[in-house]
Structure 1
Amino acid sequence: MLRHLFKLIWNRKRANLLLITEIFFSFVVLFGVGAMLLRFAQNYYSPRGFQTESVWRLTIAAKQGEKMPRPELDDVLRQVKALPGVRHVALTSGNLPFTFSTMNGFYHYKNRDSPITNNYDADDSYANTLGLHLREGRWFRASDDATKHRPVVITQDLREALFGQEPALGKIFTWGKANEKSPAPGPEDEYQVVGVVENVRTDTDFSPAAPSVWKRLIPYDTTHWETASVLVRVAPGQAGLLQEKIARTVAGVTRQWTTEVRTMEADRANMRKYTLTPIIGLALVGGFLILNVALGLFGVLWYNISQRRAEIGLRRALGATGPGISWQFLGEMSVVTTLGVLLGVLLAAQFPLLGAFGMPPMLYVSAIGLAALLVYLITAVCAWHPSRLAAGIHPAVALREE
C-alpha cells in the first residue's frame, strides 16, 4: 500500500512538491515560534531565586543640584526600620528587580572570563530583605569592614562560569576581561567571594536567570548620594497607610528630599505587561500562520479532488469502496506531510547541534515535536472533509463527465 501511495505521489510530483514546500516552511516557522514560546514558559515556571511578596521599593532623591550625606541617609533608614510593620530595610543600587535599570559587566579569574554579569551594590541587610537563598558561605556582616578586598556574593551560574568545580569561597577575581593591553587591576577592582546564592531572575517573569554579583556597601562611608534606592520588607497585609508613614518619616528628617514608595509586585506586574506584548504578538503570528496553512491545504486538496474525479470514478467502478477512497487520500496526504516534516526536522536539528540561541537541547526537541504534531493535526483536519467528498463521488457520474 505504501509503495502504491509513493507511486501516486510521484505521478503528481509537481503539485505535491508545492505541498511539501509549504509544509516544510510551515514546520520551520512553527518550530521557531514554538521554541520561543516554550522558552518563555520554561522561564516563567523556573524559580525566581528571591521573594517579591511584601517587598517595597523606596526611592529617595535629593533636591536638584544637591546630594545626600551618607550619615544622614543612614539615619533616615534607621527611622524607617523602626516603624511598626517594617521588618527589614536594605540600601542598594538603582538597578532594582523588575525595573528598566541595569548595570552589568565582565569578570576574570585566572584564564576564565565570565559571561555578561549583573552588578548590584548591597548592604548587610539585603539578603534578608529580598529573601535570597544561600547555597554556600554567608552574606555580608560587620566583620567584613576590615577585609582587604571588597566582599561579594555571587550566583551559582557565575560560580560555575568562573570557578568550575573548584571551591569558590575565599577566591579573589577581578573586574573586566583578560586583556594584555589592560592595566593590572587595582585593589578596588579585586573581589573576594564570601557566599554563593541560588540563580536569580530579576529582569522579567519570562527572562532566564542571569549571572549576578552583589558588592558590599561600606557602612557609614563619606559618599554623598544624589538618589538612594532602598528595599523594604514589611509584614504581610500592610497597605497604603504604612507607605504614607514611610514617606512622612523621610520628609521629617529633611524637607528637601523627595520620596516614592512602590511595591515590588506592582513593578513586576508592570514589567510583565510590557514583556507580554511581543509574546502575544508572536503567538498571534503563529496562529495566523496556522490559519493560512489550513486554508491553503484545504483549497489545494479540494482542487486535487476535482481534477481526479475520473480516477476516483474508475476506482469505484473497479470495486473500491468509499472508505477505501477516503483512506487513500488521507494516506497520500500523510506521506506528503511526512516528507515535508522530515526536511524541516533536518533543518531544526542543526540548532541544538550548533548551540544556537543558548537554549537547552531538550527545548529544541520539544519544539520539534510540537511543530510536527501541529503540522500533522492541521493536514489531517484539512484532508478529512475533501476525502469524504471523494468517497461520495458516484462512479457513473464521474465517468459520464469524462
Structure 2
Amino acid sequence: MLRHLFTLIWNRKRANLLLISEIFFSFVVLFGLGTVLITAGKNFLTPRGFESAQVWRLLVRAGQGQKMPRAELDDVLRQVKALPGVQTVALTSNNLPFTFNTNNSDFVYKGRKTPFANTYDADDHYAEVLRLHLREGRWFAPADDGTHHRPVVITENMRQYLFGDEPALGKIFRYPMVVKNTKPEHEFQVVGVVDNVRMTTEFDEAIPSVWMRLLPYDTTHWETAAVLVRVAPGQGGALQEKIARTVAGVTRQWSTEVRVMEDDRLHRRRYTLVPVVGLGLMGLFLIINVALGLFGVLWYNISQRRAEIGLRRAMGATGAGIGWQFLGEMMVVTTFGVLLGGLLAAQFPLLNAFDLPTQPYLLAIAAAACAVYAITALCAWQPSRLAARIHPAVALREE
C-alpha cells in the first residue's frame, strides 16, 4: 500500500512539490513560534529566586546640583525603617528588579571568563528584603568591614561559570583587566552563593548575577539613592505618604518616589508579552492561510481525479478505502515536508543558536510536527470524505 502511495505521489510530483513547500514553511514557522512560547513558558514556571510581594522601591534624589552625604542618607533609612508597617530597608544600586536599568560586566578566574553578568550593589539587609535563598555561605555582615577584598555573593549559575563544581566560598575573582597593579576593590571574595534569580522579566532565563557589598558609613555622596522597602501585608497609600514625608523631613531639597514592585512586575510582563502575542497572531494568520490553501488544493485534486476514483470504485474499491487513500497520500506528502523542516530545525540545537538549551528546541520540533500533521489531517479529512462518496457510475459517465 505504501509503495502504491509513493507511486501516486511521484506521478503528481509537480502538484505535490507545492504542497511539500507549504508544509515545510508551515513547520518552520511553527517551530520558531513553539521555541519562543516553550522557552517563555518554561521560564515563567521556574521560581524567580526572590519574593517581590510586599516590597516597594524608593528612589531618593538630591536637589539640583547637590549630593546626599551618606551619613544623612543612613539617617533617613533608619527613620523610614522605624515607621509602623515597615519591616526592613535596604540600600542598593539603581538596577532594581523589573526595571529597565541594567548594570553588567564580565569576570575572570584562572583563565575562565564569564558571560556578561548582572552586578548589583547591596547592603547587609538586601537579602532580607528580597528573601534570597542561600545555598552556601552567608550574606554580608559587619564582620566584612575589615576585609581586604570586596565581599560578594553570587548566583549558582555564576558559580558554575567561574568555578565549575569546585567550592566557591573564599575564592577571589576579578575584572578582566591587567593582573599587575590590580586594586583590591577590583578583586572580589565570595562569601555566599544564592539560588538563580530572574530580575529582568518573568520570561527570561536566569542571568548570572553578582552582589557587591556597600560599605556602611562610607564618605560617598549620592546624587540618587535606590532603596528597597519590605512592608507588612495590607499596607498601601497611607504608608507611602508617610515615607515621602519622612524623607522630606530631613531636607526639603530631596525628592522621593515610591513604587510597588508588584506593579513594576506586571508592567514588565505586559511589555514582554506584546511582541510574543504579536508573533503568535502572525503565526496563527499564516497557518490559517496555509490550511485554507491545502484544503483548496485537495478539493481541486479530487475534482481532477474523479475518473480515477470512479475506475477504482468500479474495480471493487470501497468508499472507505478511497478516503484512506487520499488521507494516506496527504500524510506521506506531509512527512516529506516535516523531514525537510526537521533537518533545518535540528541545526539550531547542534549550533547552540541563541544560547538556548537543547530541550526547548526538541520540544518545539515535536510540537511543530504534531501541529502540522493535525492541520493537514483536518484539511484532508473532508475532501477524503467527498472522494469516498463519489459513485462510480456517476464519475465514469462524466468522463
TM range (shorter): over 0.9
CA deviations 1:115-153 (Å, max 9, x no partner) are 110010000000001111100000000111100011000
Letter in 2 for 1:272: R
Q: Does 1:268 align with 2:294?
A: no
Letter in 2 for 1:347: L
Q: Which residue of 2 aligns with 1:11?
A: 11
Letter in 2 for 1:336: V
Q: Which residue of 1 aligns with 2:159?
A: 159
Letter in 1 for 2:204: S
Q: Which residue of 2 aligns with 1:191?
A: 188
TM-score normalised by length of structure 1: 0.97
Letter in 1 for 2:244: A
1:176 CA displacement? 2.5
Q: Which residue of 2 aligns with 1:356?
A: 353
1:315 CA displacement? 0.9
Letter in 2 for 1:74: D
Q: Structure 1's 353 and 184: CA in aligned 2 closer, same or farther, altered over 3 A?
A: farther
Q: Which residue of 2 aligns with 1:145?
A: 145
Q: Does 1:94 align with 2:91?
A: no
Aligned sequence identity (%): 72
CA contact (8 A) 1:175 1:185 kept: no
Q: Structure 1's 214 and 318: CA in aligned 2 closer, same or farther, altered over 3 A?
A: same
Letter in 1 for 2:266: A
More moved, 10-19 vs 92-101: 10-19
* Superposition pairs of residues 91-240 of structure 1, within 5 angstroms: 91-176=91-176, 184-240=181-237
Distance 1:184 1:193 in 2: 21
Distance 2:388 2:180 in 1: 81
Distance 1:184 1:262 in 2: 43
Q: Which residue of 330, 347, 357 corresponds with 2:344?
A: 347
Letter in 2 for 1:55: V
Q: Which residue of 2 aligns with 1:78?
A: 78
* Superposition pairs of residues 10-49 of structure 1, within 5 angstroms: 10-49=10-49
Q: Which residue of 240, 245, 249 corresponds with 1:243?
A: 240
Give SS of 1:39's match. helix
Letter in 1 for 2:294: L
TM-score normalised by length of structure 2: 0.98
Distance 2:100 2:346 in 1: 35
Letter in 2 for 1:145: D
Q: Give the CA RMSD over aligned residues.
A: 1.1
CA deviations 1:82-111 (Å, max 9, x no partner) are 011111100000000000000001101111
1:79 CA displacement? 0.2
Q: Which residue of 1 aligns with 2:56?
A: 56
CA contact (8 A) 1:351 1:364 kept: yes
Distance 2:292 2:268 in 1: 37
Q: Which residue of 1 aligns with 2:333?
A: 336
Distance 1:380 1:166 in 2: 53
Distance 2:396 2:181 in 1: 90
Distance 1:167 1:398 in 2: 79
1:183 CA displacement? 5.9
CA contact (8 A) 1:173 1:192 kept: yes
Letter in 1 for 2:119: N
Q: Does 1:324 align with 2:321?
A: yes
CA deviations 1:233-260 (Å, max 9, x no partner) are 0111111111111111111111111111
Give SS of 2:60's match. strand
Distance 1:37 1:166 in 2: 35
CA deviations 1:9-48 (Å, max 9, x no partner) are 1111111111111111111111111011100001111110
Q: Which residue of 2 aligns with 1:373?
A: 370
Give SS of 1:192's match. strand
Consecutive unaligned residues in structure 1, runs of 5 or more: none
Letter in 2 for 1:159: R
Q: Which residue of 276, 280, 283 corresponds with 1:279?
A: 276
Q: Which aligned segments of 4 or more residues in structure 1 are displaced greater than 6 angstroms? A: none
Give SS of 1:199's match. coil
1:184 CA displacement? 4.6
Distance 1:175 1:54 in 2: 35
Give SS of 2:115's match. coil
Give SS of 1:204's match. coil
CA contact (8 A) 1:139 1:194 kept: yes
